[in-house]
Structure 1
């Protein structure tokens, strides 16, 4: 009996110890959902890295190529325009040079921008989109150094890279050093699309590169120099102020619309594919609030396309294609954008057009595509896969060139 009581007491003691330990373990558990997650390292654009370039502007007469995206960001999420910031820092700015859409970014695509004065600073604004797209020697007389700071979206027919090309030529011809304040490219994670043939070079594409080239505008400038693509094989005295904490695989949402008809991330990511509609008579959302997120025309088969809309004049599009007409087409505003150039939408539109003779009735498609072959492939009924396969050799050749100028992974 005494042995039994002893065993019973020992068992009870062990049981209590086990329960106590279990409770202790439970109390030490941490709810990981309440733990503070590590903060992402912020991307710092070239313009914000003033410590890297202010010394290059000291005691110099400065020209600036800029638009509404040329800003320095603040920690509170606000920003100041680069011109205003540098003026406050006593940088001696002589002139502003503005690209397509103007210094404040309000002009329609293709609309000639006139030179004038900036209301805030009183500085002269020289238009680089109109009669003269390249700075003239006389306009550069009083300039010691040029600064270029414009947000690109990485598509060949987006004209800011052509503006850079001509600015670099002008600087090289007049012995003026150029500083590019680099910014991320939201379409930099891939290379795709038809490669431009030099006989079809224009302001919509000046050099033999694919439609999507996977470079920031700073890397692009290095490539223009390195491949001797400037006129007369000139080289520009170029300095690139790189983006910090950035690589090409990182997604980047633009805080400011880069032009009037690219209002959001969806439009920017669909632009490489839907931008080709600009060379046709199909409306690509201009005259709506969903630019480059839909397409349509009055003569697309409404038995196939149930979506309809009516383009009307609005901000950035005073006279949109198919103005005031009911357009039948497709709404792409909610899809996940592909990380490639796809021809499926333009092929679908062409195949289901009730008036194919009206589809390419414009001089612009060859300039947008960079060659005559793409239109012929679509008209011949080639599939998206067949057309894309025809691009691959040129893309692989370009990737070898591209690798020589990468600043970021």
Structure 2
């Protein structure tokens, strides 16, 4: 009994010491909560309004934006500029999906009046992709603020390039409010666009994954391809090249388009976006576009086994079935895989996307199809990948590794030129 009482006394003494230290008196607490270090990022729009408003004072402003054009507190650029007494916002310009993001992929948007502000809204997607002199007649300066996703064939950077051309032709200064590359600014990947295959999903010779912010891209395109716009880039503060979007600790991900619901979507998109140029569903019409992939004729379990046997870095595949609500195979049960990225740093989205396409092509040679060619022998897949030889190589049984070696020389040239336009180290 005495031994038990003594043990109890020792236990109570230790408990008392812990309580004292936990209360902040004497030594530090035995149990401490881990400290989370937040990297403060200031977006271009916040820098503009806090430090560089003189760029807009006394000028009639045209704003090219969409729902991603928001400040740190998720207030729309439209509201910020429209209600600022020092700024006169006179016109809005919308890319694919529109200023308010209400249009689906490929859906044309006509000119209309914005309900919230009463301002004219001009569409830069559809019949008119480049602002006309009539659209710019009352504008003294053009401002661009849209979240890109780091992939060449995402059309917003083509909209920016066309708008820069129009700004130069109409003697209007062009301002880019910079935002992060959500999949990081250190990795570049994929073939550089062959100018013969230039289109709205790729205007200039850059690789599929370019590893640049829109501000950096604007500088690169402006100088390397002689656009000659009177360009100003309002930089971010605190962004580092190795950051993914979640590393920035910005409030949340605002969908840049209806089928880009998460940061994970943006990460896989440089590769699985290429599947749009085939008869395989890229997952449109599901809650996981570009992560869910398949077709009614695929055995998902066998496809997952074959893809996992490739040991592609940073990714694993799970067999999955789904029923798209629109787009390819709408209302039909589809079988395929879901792409699960397990290591963002080692993951290679372009290699992964081409490996998926080649594997399905080899498994189902009689059922897999690339989208039809146009009268010039160019298919939508060719426009997205940026050349005609990769489609031919897949049909000829060439390995993805061999294709990668073939595009490396041009990719290295791009990386070399790109360095002098990087704004963040």
TM score, norm. by length of structure 2: 0.83
**Which range moved further: 105-114 or 281-290?**
105-114
Q: How do residues 40-55 of structure 1 correspond to structure 2 at under 5 angstroms?
A: 40-49=38-47, 50-55=49-54
Is 2:221–2:227's contact at 8 Å kept on the other side of the alignment? no
- Offset at residue 310 of structure 1 (A): 1.6
Question: Unaligned stretches of 5+ in structure 1?
Answer: 1-22, 314-319
Deviations 1:11-49 (A, max 9, x none): xxxxxxxxxxxx9xx976534752662632211110111
Aligned residue for 1:39?
Answer: 37
Aligned residue for 2:5?
Answer: none
Is 2:272–2:349's contact at 8 Å kept on the other side of the alignment? no
Aligned residue for 1:378?
Answer: 394
Aligned residue for 1:250?
Answer: 243
Q: How do residues 89-128 of structure 1 correspond to structure 2 at under 5 angstroms?
A: 89-90=84-85, 91-128=87-124
Question: Unaligned stretches of 5+ in structure 2?
Answer: 1-16, 247-251, 304-318, 374-378
Q: 1:71 to 1:116 in 2, by over 3 A?
A: same
Greater Rg by CA: 1
Is 1:97–1:126's contact at 8 Å kept on the other side of the alignment? yes
Cα distance between partner residues in 2 of 1:88 and 1:323: 43
Report the 3-state secondary structure (helix = DSSP H, G, I; strand = E; otherwise coil) of the residue aligned with 2:152. Answer: coil
Aligned residue for 2:197?
Answer: 200
2:421 matches 1:402: no
Report the 3-state secondary structure (helix = DSSP H, G, I; strand = E; otherwise coil) of the residue aligned with 1:166. Answer: helix
Is 1:281–1:361's contact at 8 Å kept on the other side of the alignment? no
Aligned equivalent of 1:324, options 331, 335, 344 = 331
Is 1:96–1:126's contact at 8 Å kept on the other side of the alignment? yes
Equivalent pairs counted in the alignment come to: 372
Aligned residue for 1:86?
Answer: 81
Aligned residue for 1:63?
Answer: 62
After the TM superposition, list the runs of 4 or more consecutive aligned residues in structure 1 that deviate by more than 6 angstroms.
Answer: none
Aligned residue for 2:170?
Answer: 174
Aligned residue for 2:258?
Answer: 260
Aligned residue for 1:285?
Answer: 283
2:349 matches 1:355: no
RMSD: 2.1
Report the 3-state secondary structure (helix = DSSP H, G, I; strand = E; otherwise coil) of the residue aligned with 1:37. Answer: coil
Aligned residue for 2:71?
Answer: 72
Is 2:278–2:368's contact at 8 Å kept on the other side of the alignment? no
- Offset at residue 393 of structure 1 (A): 0.9
Report the 3-state secondary structure (helix = DSSP H, G, I; strand = E; otherwise coil) of the residue aligned with 2:135. Answer: helix
Aligned residue for 1:317?
Answer: none
Deviations 1:77-104 (A, max 9, x none): xx21101011111221110000000011
Cα distance between partner residues in 1 of 2:341 and 2:190: 23
- Offset at residue 194 of structure 1 (A): 1.1
2:223 matches 1:226: yes
Aligned residue for 1:19?
Answer: none
Cα distance between partner residues in 1 of 2:266 and 2:157: 16
Aligned equivalent of 2:214, options 186, 210, 217 = 217
Cα distance between partner residues in 2 of 1:397 and 1:365: 24
Report the 3-state secondary structure (helix = DSSP H, G, I; strand = E; otherwise coil) of the residue aligned with 2:201. Answer: coil
**Which range moved further: 268-277 or 352-361?**
352-361
Is 1:266–1:333's contact at 8 Å kept on the other side of the alignment? no
Q: 1:336 to 1:330 in 2, by over 3 A?
A: farther
TM score, norm. by length of structure 1: 0.86
Aligned residue for 1:132?
Answer: 128
Q: 1:175 to 1:164 in 2, by over 3 A?
A: same
Aligned equivalent of 2:228, options 229, 235, 250 = 235
